[in-house]
Structure 1
Amino acid sequence: MDIGGSTLVSYPAGEVRGRSTVVGAVPVGDRHGTIVAETPFHPLDHTWPDQPADTGTIAGLTVVDCVTGAVQEGGQAVHLGEDIPVRRGTPGWSWLVVHVTDEPVPGGEVELVVDTDNRRALSAGHTACHLTALALNAALAGRWRKEIPADGLGHPDFDQTAITSSRILPGGSQDVYRLGKSLRRKGFTAEGLAEELPEIVQRINDRLKEWVAVDAPVWVDNPGPELTARRTWHCGLPEGEVAIPCGGTHLSRTSQLGTVVATLELSDDGSEMIMHTVTAR
């Protein structure tokens, strides 16, 4: 399928509208997938599917899903999501945003409009997720017996060391951490964690309250318009500027979160810790 290269994306700059030319179409089950040259839509990332896809309209038709696709140069088959057989950004492949609709999209130039309420809610959830992870790292810093890589604020990076899954929700997130033997071998002390959870949660929420109150700037470093460009989330916190690799969407200041509240719970067997984050304006 000759689509003229990878899809260019404008969502990292906060864009929610655009016009572009249809360059390809592909079946998605019993639905229709449309590929355009440039889009403001954020698709679900098949490699780390934390932030759900944008919704909205394309050519006036409802976009019910938006997925990542890939096609080999000179090839015809467009692979979607988990069926993509190569790593993200592999040379010789074009990386695509596929807009899924119930009806076929006409060819030519089309208008793309993202649901701004849904985008903002997911952006709030993603920004809060990063801040809560940093606050969690700080709250657990005293539980490490060995040195591990530090986060941008200099605390042992529990989040990146122990995380097994992350799910961005409208206005919040859910992150799951593995507390197994591997983590203990790296130096984490899990003894007494259940009893200390209320105090840890209090420390996290106190720090989140401070960060929201200072109205810190948030931005995404965007090196290029390609879907596979390596983007980085930044936040100018009082303790220092933090940078975290991230391909999602975000708010522009911490004060826009309103309030951020985190809770922690352990699984019944104590092998996992689940963190829930909720924002409210």
Structure 2
Amino acid sequence: MTAATVVTFPSGAVTGSGTVVRVEGDVVVLDATPFHPVDHTWPDQPGDAGVLRSSSGSAAVSDTLMAAVSDDGSFAVGADIPVKRGGQGWTWLVGHRLADAAPAWLIPGVVVEADVDAPLRGGLSRGHTACHLASLALDAALADLWRKEIRVDPLGNPDFEGLANQSSRIHADGSVDEYRLGKSLRKAGFDSEGFAASVAERQARINELLAGWVASAAASRIDVEGPTIVDRRTWRCDLPEGEVGFLCGGTHVASLAEFASITVSLDLSDPQLLVMTTTAVPAQ
């Protein structure tokens, strides 16, 4: 029976070796990989690209996805997986989607070197860390707009991010997040009108916080509960206000010193939808 894929990307690895355990069309599964897959249930960070190599040749990987095989042998990839990650009755895998058809030499039992596109990974890691920091700064900047007590974020501020975020898309050195400002948020106690009247001030406060955090050069890491793709992972960062952490399946920088700056822009063109665009500039 196939075992869950062992992953090394949480440590920042971009190279490694693995044994091919399954080839399904243009999707290759290894027993171990440094490649990070896009999550099929919350596809915020894109999957890695790169190359699989052996003495017989090389095969370009265009995307990396979650894959799973059920106890009765059904194999599914990406959005075709019918259950959430970690669901019972399924073994969880990482699928490497090839840019072309699988070459004849790429068969089960072959050992390959797996090389991730490191510049792309670096940009996505910066984008993901910046996205989390921006969400914390957003919560802090909106903290005085709540009329009722609600759950709090890792810094102790009302969790606007957790209640309102409906979409997050990470790209190299940035992200775009959408927040629904509807009736349910107002019922929870959020002053949407007060926010609409002070968007520019809130944006300035977010960027002030982000500038301070970048200047702190705080350490950042991923803690893991186990070695496989299905084991829980938590991003942690030692901000000046204290350590913060989120459950997170993505990749991140090792230090905020990797940024020259992180800034956001807030767009409330639609009074029911806040769009926050986060831009990271890498340190030289």
Task: Give me the TM-score of the superposition, normalised by structure 2.
Answer: 0.94
* Post-superposition offset of 1:195: 2.9
What is the CA distance between 1:83 and its match in structure 2? Answer: 1.5
Q: 1:170 aligns with which of 138, 150, 172?
A: 172
**Do residues 89 (structure 1) and 86 (structure 2) align?**
yes
Mapped partners of 1:74, 1:14: distance in 2: 34
Describe the SS at the equivalent of 1:258.
strand
Structure 2: runs of 5+ lacking an equivalent = none
Count how many residue pairs are aligned between Structure 1 and Structure 2: 273
Q: How do 1:199-238 residues align onto structure 2 when only pairs under 5 Å count?
A: 199-238=201-240
Counterpart of 1:210 in 2: which secondary structure?
helix
What SS does the corresponding residue of 1:142 show, helix, strand or coil? helix
Aligned partner of 1:132: which letter? A
The residue aligned with 1:276 is 277
Tell me the residue number matched to 1:35: 29
What amino acid sits opposite 1:147 in the alignment? Answer: E
CA distance in 2, matches of 1:79, 1:95: 10
CA distance in 1, matches of 2:77, 2:49: 18
State the identity as a percent: 48
Contact 2:145 2:194 in 1 (8 A): no
Distance 1:126 1:136 in 2: 15
Q: Which residue of structure 2 aligns with residue 8 of structure 1?
A: 6
**Root-mean-square deviation over aligned CA pairs:** 1.0
Structure-2 residue corresponding to 1:19: 17
Distance 1:61 1:82 in 2: 24
Provide the rounded CA distance (Å) in 2 between the counterparts of 1:258 and 1:103. Answer: 41
**Cα-to-partner distance string for 1:124-169 (whole Å, 9 max, x where unaligned):** 0000000000000000000000111101111001011100000011
| Cα deviation code 1:4-46 (max 9, x no counterpart) | 211111101111011111000112xxxx100010000001100
Cα separation, 2, equivalents of 1:111 and 1:87: 30
Task: Kindly state the Cα deviation for residue 260 of structure 1 after the two structures are TM-superposed.
Answer: 0.4
| Matched residue, 1:124 | 126
Conserved 8 A contact 2:145-2:195: no
Aligned mates of 1:193, 1:273 — CA distance in 2: 10
Distance in structure 2 (CA, Å) of the matches to 1:154 and 1:211? 17
User: 1:45 — aligned with what?
Assistant: 39
Distance in 2 between residues matched to 1:33 and 1:162, nearest whole Å: 36
Gaps of 5+ in 1: none
Q: Which range moves more in the overlay, 79-88 or 14-23?
A: 79-88
Higher mean C-alpha displacement, 102-111 vs 204-213: 102-111
3-state SS of paired residue (1:211): helix
The residue number in structure 1 matching 2:151 is 149
- One-letter identity of the residue aligned with 2:65: V
Residue 74 of structure 1: CA displacement?
3.9
Counterparts of 1:105-120 in structure 2 under 5 Å?
105=103, 106-107=106-107, 108-120=110-122
Contact residue 235 and residue 246 of structure 2 kept, 8 A: yes
Q: 1:267, CA displacement in angstroms? A: 3.6
Partner of 2:101: 103
Match of 2:196 among 179, 194, 197: 194
AA partner of residue 47 (structure 2): A
AA of the residue aligned to 1:271: Q
**How far 1:73 moved relative to its partner?**
2.1
State the partner residue of 2:77.
Answer: 80
TM-score where L is the length of structure 1? 0.95
Matching residue's letter, 2:280: T
Deviates more, 1:109-118 or 1:81-90: 81-90
In structure 2, how many angstroms separate the alpha carbons of the residues matched to 1:264 and 1:229? 35
